[in-house]
Amino acid sequence: MPVKIYSNEFSVSTRGETEIIDITGRVESCVHKSGVTTGHVLVFSPGSTIGITTVEYEPGLKKDLQEAFEKLAPRRASYHHHKTWNDGNGYAHVRASLLGQDRVFPVKEGKLYHGTWQQIIFIDFDNRARTRSVTVQVVGE
């Protein structure tokens, strides 16, 4: 079978403030629609105050992860970025740069391949509610 590319996207409504949203089901749905049996899936979001990663999605770990980001780049610390734009979200940019907005997963037997306790999450670090966009691209046969 020839290798092909399938591209799709979906939107995520967030409240910001390091809200963590499980997007595994929506990525799985894109993989299913792609018809790809074996390949990679890229999960990417355009934006500089967000992140994509994995976690065992349960309420305790969501808090633990939020606290880890608060330690890495505290919400109320002083940021040079605030002098540039005065928008108060320097912490959100720093967290986003450290985490990244791209993750790649295998596709095996027509399905997103991941651990039972390894969900894909979207994190909005910014200080306001927003609708965000996620791009899912599958390459494979």
Binding site for its own copies (CB under 8 A): 2-5, 7, 38-40, 42, 44, 46-48, 53-56, 58-61, 63-65, 68, 71-73, 79-85, 90, 93-94, 96-106, 108, 113-115, 117-118, 121, 135, 137, 139-141
With respect to its own copies, which residue has the nearer C-beta, 12 or 61? 61
With respect to its own copies, which residue has the nearer C-beta, 29 or 137? 137
With respect to its own copies, which residue has the nearer C-beta, 104 or 129? 104
Going across the sheet that includes 19-22, the strands are 19-22, 119-124, 50-55
Phi and psi of 31, rounded to 5°? -65, -45
Strands (E), 28-116: 39-44, 50-55, 102-108, 111-112
Task: Give the DSSP H/E element, type plus range, for residue 138.
Answer: strand 130-140
Q: How far is the CB of 17 from its own copies (least distance, A)?
A: 17
